Homo-oligomer: A and B are copies of this chain.
């Protein structure tokens, strides 16, 4: 029996996350200052994609919290659209993604967002399910609304264990 793969969660940064998607955050210089100087707009920060026959929608997810170490046994992806996760409160959560390796997920990476950070996953990016580490955990999810299932799941032969 081989030992389970263990990976360490790292802080979420735009540079490390770029191959998988966008970090949604107020960082760097704002693109525009509006409302008589009282509001900074960081403009159009998500590479959104709703595929053929789809449209943008906002759904609300309420998820049960998990704890670290966390055993991730399944990765999924959405072949027809991007998917953004915006936490609606201060909470710790985990973002697990993986590069594609010939139609199945390669070795996963795990990120711990800071308060004020969301993510937008590019279309067809392998990722773990929504994994809050505290409750209540309410997220706005901006993704494709359409008639197709738009979901591919891959069950790992052995879970990947994510530690802090």
Contacts and interface: CB of A to CB of B under 8 A. Distances in A.
Interface in A126-142: 129-130, 136, 138, 140-142
B39 A63 contact: yes
Interface string A61-104: 11110000000000000000000101111100000000000000
Contact of A24 (B24, B50, B58, B115): B58
Report the copy number of this chain in the oligomer: 2
Given A138-B26, A140-B24, A44 B62 contact: no
Interface string A101-137: 0000000000000011110100000000110000010
A12 interface: no
A41 B58 contact: no
Nearest to A31: B59
A57 B40 contact: no
A43 B26 contact: no
Nearest to A56: B56
A5 interface: no
Contacts of A161: none
A2 interface: no
A45 interface: yes
A58 B46 contact: yes
Most buried by B among A84, A90, A142: A142
Q: Which 5 A-B pairs have the closest CB atoms?
A: A56-B56, A46-B58, A42-B60, A26-B62, A44-B57
8 contacts: A25-B138, A26-B138, A35-B129, A38-B129, A39-B64, A39-B129, A41-B61, A90-B90
